[in-house]
A and B are shown apart, each in its own frame.
Chain A
Amino acid sequence: MKQEEVNDKSRRDFLKTAALATVAATACGSLACSCNSKKAPVSDKVKLLSPTGEIVEIDSAYLNHEEHMAIVSKLEAREGIAGKKFVMVVDLAKCKNARSCVSACQKWHYRPKETEWLTVKLLQDSDKAAPYWFPKQCFHCDNPPCVKVCPVDATYKRQDGIVLIDSDRCIGCKFCMAACPYSTRVFNWDEPELSLDIKNLAYSPETGIPAKVGTVEKCDFCPDRAREGLLPPCVEACPNGVFYFGDENEDTVSNGLETVSFTQLIKDRSGYRFMEDLGTKPRVYYLPPKDREFPVEKGYQDADSAIKERFKDFKDILEAKE
């Protein structure tokens, strides 16, 4: 499984940045926290894909630890990437609540464990319906209720479809949070704890780093990575290829394992948008959990107790089938 995951990493990405520590670490699951800081030699070995296509093991100290991508100007961060229209497809049939996406997201964005820009819910549409795991991030709506209500234009819609927040401008009124029907946004209630290596980074709305107290933040579709042609960490980290990310204009989406036609995928798998009736026009599509790869209980049984606690309402259904 892990082996496969490493093999599937895009070669191009590796060559381009030679800085896949984060990605590899997530894939290998062996480098939980060494990426954040020091360069002192550590004995941790990291499995990487070499330019010739072999898996190699390197001491993580020899890697260029990943800095966040190039900082673009505030204006560029407002306009977005020309010619793109980012879209995401989430395949509910493949999700087993592994939560690799969640931790990869937190790691990439230097967010604490409690802050989940991306979260996995357990939904059940009606009493008799089968429950299913539902990864949920910002939907980057085309008719975004949050953007409509922002009094200072701190949250905005870009031409590439992404909804971003400028934490330098946000006044923290939380109107966007009240307006978002999907409870996507989170607030920095207290002074965020920032590690030394990111504390003094220049802020960009595209990276959202460093976080600022009294401001709102949320999933940003990782535009800094998109500029480099990289997939968001959640997409890359998912062991099951649940997330497809891509460009609607090019009509391609990729989950890191396969690259497919967006329209074809939506057509073949009856893709839909969550709560379409709200009229928000999300840019995230879901594929219904038909022919599932995992029984829903698996995601519950394999979860640690703190996560299990979240789904206590479903305890009866999920444990009875054990």
Chain B
Amino acid sequence: MELNNYQQEAFEYQRKNIETYGKRAWGWTIFYVVCILVGLYALYLQIAKGHGVTGMRDNVVWGLFIVNFIFFIGLSYAGAIIAGLLHLSKVTWGKPIIRLAQFMTLVSVIIGPIFILLCVGRFDRMHHLFIYPRIQSPLTWDVMAVLTFFVGSVLFLYLGLIKDFSVYRDAKLNIPKWKQKLYKVLALGYRGAASQKRHLIISQNLMAIIMIPLAIMVASILSWIFGMTLRPGWHSTIFGPYFVLGAVYSGCGLLIVAMWFYRKLYKLDYYFTDKHFTYLGYVMLILAAGYGYFTFSEYFTDWFASEKWNSELIHKLFSTSEYGWWTLFANAAGIALPIAIVAIPATRKPGPITIAAFIMVIAMWVKRYLIIVPTLETTLLPMQDTRIEYVKYAATWPEWALTIAGIASFLLFFTVMSKFVTVVPVSGLEDTHTVHEQHLLHPEPTLENTSKA
């Protein structure tokens, strides 16, 4: 396949990243694998001893696992929507970050559902979902939605990779034979012929068009697992859009963090420019405002109308003796902070934006916790239970171990993938020369440049 100058340059620049698996990469890989192994041991305990090893009990039937499920799957939907929009839109600055968004989509749609499996009492019976499906259950909708979405995100990512694979295949990289072969197989014989080009672009456009509404649908269905129940704080008509927005918002934050990280690690300053941070920062600001607005209307209407159960929940969420501080953190760090950082010109820089985004992502995790646990602790009938673990949820170490294992899997995927394909899509840079004029002035990354980064 023929490359233009910018593509050639981008490829040569990232070549060493996929040719080597350095000491640092190995170190992290081993660390992640250890985290995952600890998680697997916790899982073994959970299977051997039953779900009693978790902090979940009859009132709070869902805990960290469901929180993680919402969190990861939200990142996934966000990745799809962002990548889809960037692919379809004519703005060229977005092209280099599409692949990162797609990575996020794929890995999260694998890790997220694993957490729901962890939460299920009998995963030896998961096939029941297919042999006895019951169409009116929101969970059945979710199973169908997530599986469809998974297939979609694999295709979407893969279609974007085919051209790249053909580049790696033809580049005579200094890599082991198996890897060479793998690229060859994955490139599907792509040579850049006119018909191949046309088919590929049509498929990619189609997938992008499919993935955006699909992500909105699946995020809404996810929210309806909660919205369809008669529980205070869950039974809300805005839950669908609320979850969609929350997903895109947290995903946008994580994309900024990933961008910053790879920019540092692989010195990709030319591709992930300050402009990218500013633009994604603006997106983050708008989403933060939207999410803040939704959160406000959610709490305000519940508080004002003050129905019995809703008031009880609101009281729990805002009372400093219960979840008050967490609510404050989730909203201050999760909504106000990113807005402030991006709004103030002095802090509208990659560093502060990334820090704000990182804290926001954590706050959004906390927010999901606040959606799940306090509601389950607010039963309609008084619990009148003397067993404290039945009244109040406290996550146990196996739950935390599995949570950490989930995060480790996420990072491991990014580490391995960034050594297998280039983080900045080489083929995606076809029309990006306008953005990289600045780059042309420094065709070779100089020492000053790299050390500064």
Contact = CB atoms under 8 A, between A and B. Distances in A.
B228 A151 contact: no
A172 B122 contact: yes
A269 interface: no
A172 B384 contact: no
Q: Tell me which of A153, A171, A214 has the highest count of chain B C-beta atoms within 10 A of its own C-beta.
A: A171
Given A187-B58, A187-B61, A171 B120 contact: yes
Interface string B357-399: 0000000000000000000100111111111000000000000
Interface in B290-329: none
Contacts of A313: 382
B59 interface: yes
A148 interface: yes
Contacts of A154: 128, 132
B137 A148 contact: yes
A282 to B, nearest CB: 13
B143 interface: yes
A122 interface: yes
A318 interface: no
B386 A309 contact: yes
Interface size class of B (residues with CB under 8 A): 35 or more
Given A150-B134, A190-B49, A309-B386, A171 B61 contact: no
A191 B116 CA distance: 21
B382 A170 contact: no
Interface stretch (A86-94, A100-108, A177-185, A242-250): A177-185
B134 A187 contact: no
User: Chain A contact residues: over half helix, strand or loop, or mixed?
Assistant: loop
Nearest to A167: B122
A175 interface: yes
B381 A148 contact: no
Interface string B138-152: 111001000000000
B122 A214 contact: yes
A185 B128 CA distance: 21
Contacts of B128: 152, 154, 169, 171
A114 B387 contact: yes
Given A175-B225, A214-B50, A182 B381 contact: yes
A173 B382 contact: no
A62 interface: no
Contact of A189 (B51, B120, B122, B143): B51
Interface in B166-217: none
Given A114-B387, A309-B386, A171 B122 contact: yes
B121 interface: yes
Contact of A174 (B119, B129, B226): B119
Contacts of B383: 183
A298 interface: no
Contacts of B451: none
B132 A153 contact: yes
B8 to A, nearest CB: 52
Contact of A310 (B120, B228, B386): B386
A167 B386 CA distance: 28
Nearest to B125: A171
Contacts of A175: 137-139, 225
A136 interface: yes
Contacts of A194: none
B126 interface: yes
7 contacts: A152-B128, A169-B128, A170-B121, A172-B120, A173-B116, A178-B62, A178-B231
Interface of A: 114, 121-123, 136, 145, 148-154, 169-175, 177-179, 181-183, 185-191, 213-216, 275, 278, 280, 306, 309-311, 313
